[in-house]
């Protein structure tokens, strides 16, 4: 796995909107907070465009991203938000220049599209907060400060409390995954997860319980869940029943789907569509140790 160079004070970074539309105020405040961290910030020309639910047309969003991918002076790309649209943006991109000199791509949710693509090409990226979560109540979030430390070279190490549905054990593997809805939508494409030797991270928001069941059983039916080395479950936020109660929580649905396997399973990792949303290096090798007293995740 190839890591892009870590950031140093004075580096130039970009903020882009490859998916959903977002307010100028949120992005400009995010840019100011990055400047306070010592970076030069370039905001995409089309970052505030609007076309339906998107931040402008597919071609305009891709033009901003292509420029940033090709610009050797830009050392990292922060995405303003997710929503929907990254797959449409991706289909208009040429990554040849980026592959010669990779840079950090940072985001989550719909940005899982880019994490999946880079994972297939053995390049690390950061599952981390986007502009609206850089601060809360006029204070920097711990998620943002931890992400800044990561981007400057501090590898993340986590210790979290046990969960009643955890499965004990230890595993080493390459971290992959992100938003479950996006993972499932990419099945059968060139972005599909190659599960052998991988530790899968999943999270989601605003779904029905039966949707979670359907998506996780898609992964099971495709033999993906049986081939991974471990599973880390983040937030499943605002998951509700449909017209009739499903009868299980999202955690119970996921645990049931992996009951017949033996690898360690961790529930309650603080990442996803809530704060704290702690950063993870997608594509990194991690050690996952799930005991009855704590869960340790170490990036190596």
pLDDT of 264 reads 98
pLDDT of 120 reads 94
Q: How far apart are CA 287 and CA 298, in angstroms?
A: 5
pLDDT of 237 reads 98
Active site residue 109: yes
Residues of 124-141 as b/e, b for ≥16 C-beta within 10 angstroms?
bbbbbbbbbbbbeeeeeb
The reply to whether 232 falls in a domain is yes
The reply to whether 123 falls in a domain is yes
CATH no. for residue 20? 3.40.50.10740
92/191 same-domain check:
no
Question: Residue 18 has which token pair?
Answer: 């490859």
Q: How far apart are CA 121 and CA 218, in angstroms?
A: 24
Domain boundary among 151, 185, 202: 151
The reply to whether 2 falls in a domain is no
102/184 same-domain check:
no
The reply to whether 254 falls in a domain is yes
Domain encompassing residue 135: 12-151
Q: Of residues 42, 211, 273, 284, which has the active-site annotation?
A: 273
56/181 same-domain check:
no
Average pLDDT, the chain: 97
| HEC per residue, 126-170 | EECCCHHHCEECCEECHHHHHHHHHHCCCCCEEEECCCCCCECEE
57/127 same-domain check:
yes
18/116 same-domain check:
yes
Active site residue 273: yes
Q: Of residues 17, 109, 119, 229, which has the active-site annotation?
A: 109
Band the pLDDT of 75: cuts 50, 70, 90: very high
Question: Residue 135 has which token pair?
Answer: 């601060």
129/188 same-domain check:
no
Band the pLDDT of 250: cuts 50, 70, 90: very high
Closest by CA to 38, choosing from 69, 11, 6, 66, is 11
200/136 same-domain check:
no
Q: Of residues 146, 203, 250, 284, which has the active-site annotation?
A: 203
* Average pLDDT of the residues in 15-27: 98
Domain boundary among 96, 121, 151: 151
**Antiparallel, parallel or unpaired: β 169-179 and 285-290:** antiparallel
* Average pLDDT of the residues in 116-126: 97
CATH no. for residue 223? 3.50.30.60
Q: What is the pLDDT of residues 52-65, one digit of tens each?
A: 999 999 999 999 99
252/280 same-domain check:
yes
36/83 same-domain check:
yes
167/254 same-domain check:
yes
168/140 same-domain check:
no
The structural domain count of the chain equals: 2
20/71 same-domain check:
yes
């Amino acid at each position: 796995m190839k890591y892009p160079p870590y950031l140093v004070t004075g580096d130039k970074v970009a903020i882009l909107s490859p998916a959903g539309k977002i307010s100028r105020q949120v992005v400009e405040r995010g840019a100011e907070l990055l400047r306070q961290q010592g970076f030069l910030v370039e905001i995409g020309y089309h970052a505030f465009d609007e076309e339906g639910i998107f931040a402008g047309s597919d071609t305009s969003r891709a033009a901003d991203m292509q420029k940033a991918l090709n610009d050797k002076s830009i050392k990292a790309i922060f995405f303003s938000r997710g929503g929907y649209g990254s797959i449409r943006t991706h289909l208009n991109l040429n990554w040849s220049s980026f592959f010669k000199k990779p840079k950090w791509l940072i985001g989550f949710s719909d940005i899982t599209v880019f994490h999946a693509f880079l994972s297939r090409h053995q390049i690390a990226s950061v599952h981390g907060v986007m502009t609206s979560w850089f601060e809360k109540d006029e204070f920097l979030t711990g998620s943002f400060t931890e992400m800044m430390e990561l981007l400057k070279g501090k590898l993340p190490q986590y210790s979290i409390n046990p969960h009643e549905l955890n499965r004990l054990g230890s595993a080493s593997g390459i971290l992959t995954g992100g938003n479950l809805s996006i993972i499932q939508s990419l099945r059968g494409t060139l972005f599909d997860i190659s599960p052998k030797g991988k530790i899968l991270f999943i999270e989601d928001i605003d779904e029905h319980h039966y949707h979670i069941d359907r998506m996780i059983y898609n992964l099971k039916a495709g033999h993906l869940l049986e081939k991974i080395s471990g599973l880390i479950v983040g937030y499943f936020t605002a998951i509700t029943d449909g017209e009739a109660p499903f009868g299980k929580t999202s955690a119970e649905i996921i645990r049931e789907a992996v009951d017949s396997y033996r690898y360690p399973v961790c529930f309650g990792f603080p990442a996803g569509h809530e704060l704290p949303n702690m950063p993870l290096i997608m594509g990194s090798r991690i050690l996952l140790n799930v005991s009855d007293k704590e869960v340790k995740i170490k990036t190596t």
